[in-house]
Each structure stands twice: as C-alpha cells, then as structure tokens.
C-alpha cells in the first residue's frame, strides 16, 4: 500500500488517531463492485482495533461484500477553510483516516451483540439499560427485511491518517467579510 504522498499532512500520533476514530460518527465504506466502485456513508464504531458496521442483512452492500470483501473505510472531519493572501493557496483544515482491509461478516453472535451494543451506546448513550445478547441479535429482524441483521468487522491491514491543523484565527469566517 502507498504511503501518504504529501508527508507534511501525515499524522502518526496513535493517540490522536485512536481518539478521532472513537469520537467521529460517520465514515464512507468504499467497495469494489465490478467496474464501478460503490461507496456508502455509514455509522460505525471503532472497537478493539477494528471498525464495526451493521446492515439489514440483504441489499446491495450485502451482495457486494459477499462477492468482494476488500474495502476502504474513510472517516473525515473538516474544520474549515484556511485563509491565505494568495487565492489559490487557500486550503482546508481537516483530519482523515483511511482504513484498508476486508469486511468480514461476524458469525459469532456474542461478538455481534457486543459490537451492536457499542454502536447503540455511541449514538444514544445511556438511553437503553440492558446490553444486547447474542440471542437477541440472532432473532432480530428489521421491519424492512426478513433476514437477520448483519454485522461486519474491518480489521485494518493498512491505515493512513492525514491532518491539516490550523489555529481557529486562520480559518475563514463568513461574519468577518
């Protein structure tokens, strides 16, 4: 896998990357679908060194991953536009992490339950009292589908992180004009 080419933006701070993966809420799952890529924004949870995703158990994503499990999962956050006296030198402040690996369907119901419980608590902390069980996950069906919910794990085979950190006073502010 290639290294980040623009090395000034390379982020190697493992604690910063870990914190970013834990706090951000959405990533984009890039999949290989014949001659065209297929990318879909998804909620995720970073847990035990892997990304966990879930879905209905059927549909386009499920079909693609069953045929072609290599994926790229990208998480990013834009912080604003960086000002510069030269118009073409304006830039963007951001952080991004790209995770390359294979999306593996989680077959162990207890692992799936743990990942789904982490997802629930990430997006609705403290709302539910009782953790999910493997039995619940095995029997759960979406109102839109008769298939059991799918949980996927992406363990990084390769990961890159980039950032452009800028002090807030150097970001464009619409109110200043």
Q: Write down the pTM of the prediction.
A: 0.87
Q: CA-CA distance, 119 to 152, in Å (whole number)?
A: 12
Q: What is the DSSP letter of 2?
A: P
- With left for phi above 0 and alpha for psi between -120 and 50, is residue 74 left, alpha or beta? beta
pLDDT value, residue 145: 62
pLDDT value, residue 5: 67
Task: State the residue for tokens 């789904």.
Answer: 116
pLDDT value, residue 80: 84
**Among 42, 18, 17, residue whose Cα is nearest residue 28:** 42
pLDDT tens digits along 60-104: 999 999 999 999 999 999 988 888 888 788 888 899 999 999 999
pLDDT value, residue 107: 93
Q: CA-CA distance, 83 to 147, in Å (whole number)?
A: 51
Low-confidence ranges of the chain (pLDDT < 70): 1-6, 141-145, 174-177
The architecture of the domain spanning 7-167 is: Roll (2.30)
pLDDT value, residue 177: 47
pLDDT value, residue 72: 98
Bridge pairing between strands 36-43 and 45-47: unpaired
């Amino acid at each position: 896998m290639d290294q980040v080419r623009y090395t000034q933006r390379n982020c190697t701070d493992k604690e910063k990357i870990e914190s970013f993966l834990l706090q951000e809420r959405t990533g984009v799952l890039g999949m290989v679908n014949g001659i065209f890529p297929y990318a879909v924004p998804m909620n995720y949870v970073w847990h035990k060194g892997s990304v966990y995703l879930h879905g209905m158990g059927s549909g386009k994503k499920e079909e693609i991953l069953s045929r072609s499990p290599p994926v790229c999962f990208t998480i990013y956050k834009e912080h604003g536009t960086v000002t510069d006296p030269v118009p073409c030198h304006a830039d963007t402040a951001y952080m991004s992490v790209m995770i390359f690996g294979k999306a593996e369907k989680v077959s162990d119901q207890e692992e799936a339950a743990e990942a789904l419980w982490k997802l629930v608590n990430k997006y609705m902390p403290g709302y539910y009292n009782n953790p999910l069980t493997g039995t619940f996950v095995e029997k759960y069906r979406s109102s839109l589908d008769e298939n059991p919910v799918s949980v996927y794990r992406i363990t990084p085979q390769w990961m890159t992180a980039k950032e452009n950190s800028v002090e807030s006073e150097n970001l464009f502010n619409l109110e200043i004009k």
